[in-house]
Amino acid sequence: MNASIRFGIVGGAGWLGGAIAGAALAAGVVQARDITLSYRRTKPQRFPGAFWTDDNQALTERCDVILLSVRPEDWPSLAIDAGGKLVISVMAGIRLAEIAERHATDRVVRSLPNAAADVAKSYTPWIASSGTSGADRAIVRAIFDACGVQDEVASERDIDYLTGLTGSGPAFPALLADAMLRDAVRFGLPPDVARRAVNAVLTGTGRLLELRDASPADTVEAFLDYRGTTAAAIETMRDAGFDEAVAKGLAAAFTKSIAMGKG
């Protein structure tokens, strides 16, 4: 993008809204003077030069692009008229048509970044309404490239599935790490040693997959082929239902995503 946009984040005081603002500012997608953020209670002392407000309609009128970073259950009370401007939602479950109707615009994007946007490592799937232009799409790519990696996907069903798969961000690797750490402590390792060991395993794996653009399946098969201690662990975990547990968890997240949109 050659020029800064006037970018507004409804819910900019929250974790995800603030993470997206910080990433966009750091990447130069937007300048501090051109960003407006809203808060509900206390004005945050963040992003010097940015404009803070507790009036969401005033935010909308100041900006060209409005990002909605509120909880889905809070969205029904969000009464703003976007007047045909580009609106980007990061809310799980809320459909494009609903957002378009409530906020008076046919330029709508549904997206699902995750908490790793805070360190510019989010994966963000998104889908745009038919009224969204090529220039609008370029803005969306720039914002979410600043947050990590982004993909435009084919359908809202894809977004609903990815809400569970990637929208959970670090939660699933953290769940695995927690199980490993607990086992290490039960074995007798000091908690600080166990924590460093487990965190290093996960961060090292993520970096390896990122740099090599490697297939996780190929990595697993390489260890299985070696027939060592790791192969013994993998086979035992699978026999205990590891793959099925993951599939059931993702199915539950998918169902919940759809239900949130109906709530």
Tens-digit pLDDT profile for residues 130-174: 999 999 999 999 999 999 999 999 999 999 999 889 988 788 999
CATH of the domain at 51: 3.40.50.720
Residue 12 lies in a domain: yes
Tens-digit pLDDT profile for residues 80-90: 999 999 999 99
Residue 64 near residue 85, CB atoms below 8 Å: yes
CATH of the domain at 186: 1.10.3730.10
Return the pLDDT at 250.
93
Classify strands 122-128 and 108-111 as parallel, antiparallel or unpaired: antiparallel
For the cut 70, the answer to whether the pLDDT of residue 2 exceeds it is no
Looking at the structure, tell me whether residues 129 and 32 fall in a common domain: yes
Length of the chain: 263
Q: Give the global pTM.
A: 0.88
Q: How many domains does the chain have?
A: 2
Looking at the structure, tell me whether residues 29 and 143 fall in a common domain: yes
Residue that finishes a domain, picked among 165, 194, 227: 165
Alpha helix segments (H runs only) across 28-155:
56-62, 96-103, 134-147
Question: What is the arithmetic mean of pLDDT over 24-31?
Answer: 96
Residue 65 near residue 8, CB atoms below 8 Å: yes
C-alpha to C-alpha distance for 95 and 89, rounded to whole angstroms: 9
For the cut 80, the answer to whether the pLDDT of residue 231 exceeds it is yes
> What is the extent of the structural domain holding 222?
171-262
Confidence of residue 120 (pLDDT cuts 50, 70, 90): very high
Return the pLDDT at 213.
81
Residue 1 lies in a domain: no
